[in-house]
Amino acid sequence: MALVSDLTTKVLFETEKGYSYQCDLTNSIIINFVDTVSSYKIHDFLIFQRKVNSVDILNMLYDLSDQSDAQLIETTKRNFSRNLTICEIVQLRDLLNGTKFTLTLHSLLCNTVNVELI
C-alpha cells in the first residue's frame, strides 16, 4: 500500500476521473482512468493521445443512432481497451492532453536550465 501512495505522490496531471504519473523504474507513463490502469512508453503514449484526440466528437453528438453513443478505444499493445461514452472520451482527452502538456513543459524547462548551465 505504501508503494502505491509513493507512486501517486508524483502525479503529472490529475482530473476528477483519473490521474497520470511517470514511473522512473520502468521509464513509462502510467495512466489511471476510471479504475483502469495502463502503462505506456513515451512513444506509445503519444500515439494513444493522438488516437483519442482524433475521435470525432461532433459527429458522435449529431449521429442519432445507438452505435454512436460510445466508441471502442484501444491501444496498439492492448494496454487499454474500453468502450467509452462521449463524456468519457472528452474526460480521457483532457487527462492525456494535460499529461502531454506537463511532459512538454518539463522538457522545455530542463532544456532551458541545461543551456544556461553551459
Q: Is-contact 48 75, C-beta < 8 A?
A: yes
Task: Tell whether the model's pLDDT for residue 25 goes beyond 80.
Answer: yes
| Per-residue confidence (pLDDT) for residue 87, from 0 to 100 | 94
What global pTM score does this model have? Answer: 0.83
Q: Is 63 helix (H, G, I), strand (E, B) or coil?
A: coil
6 vs 57, which has greater pLDDT?
57
Alpha helices by DSSP H, listed for the chain, are 2-8, 42-53, 57-62, 86-117
Q: Is-contact 48 40, C-beta < 8 A?
A: yes
The pLDDT tens digits for 44-66 are 999 999 999 999 999 998 988 88
Q: How far, in Å, CA of 33 to CA of 64, rounded?
A: 27
Residues in CB range of 105: below 8 A, 6 or more apart: none
The Cβ of residue 106 has, within 10 Å, a number of other Cβ atoms equal to 12
The pLDDT tens digits for 36-46 are 899 999 999 99
